[in-house]
Amino acid sequence: MILYSVTINVEDSIHDEWVDWMQNEHIPEVMASGCFYESFMFRVVSPETEEGTTYCIQYYAEDISDYEKYQIEQAAIMQTKHKDKYGKKFTAVRTVMEKLENDLS
């Protein structure tokens, strides 16, 4: 399993509109790519940020090839839409993680 995690800090001036856009447009559009089978959106509660609000959106892919397909076919388009809509009123950090086979749970 692959976890694609996008952590985004959003300025207060766009907060409510941004949350609505993420939940009703952006995340559904990413999921429609067919590269991920599940997603979650979290508000980061710790550590607290000095400005804005931070969210973590997690997308789960079956394997690295599904994630790579998203990167090749969709990622630049999705990131450009986000940037065009909200400019410099957010910052994003993206990470990709692979689940170990010997899960400790």
Confidence band (pLDDT; 50, 70, 90) for 105?
A: low
Confidence band (pLDDT; 50, 70, 90) for 60?
A: very high
Listed in sequence order, the DSSP H helices in the chain are: 15-21, 27-31, 64-70, 76-86
Q: What are 34's two structure tokens?
A: 């067919």
Question: From CA 36, how far away is CA 10, in angstroms rounded?
Answer: 24
Q: What is the pLDDT of residue 49?
A: 82
Give per-residue pLDDT as tens, 2-54. 999 999 999 999 999 999 999 999 999 999 999 999 999 999 999 888 899 99
Q: Which domains, from first to last, does the chain contain?
A: 2-98 (3.30.70.100)
Q: What is the pLDDT of residue 47?
A: 85
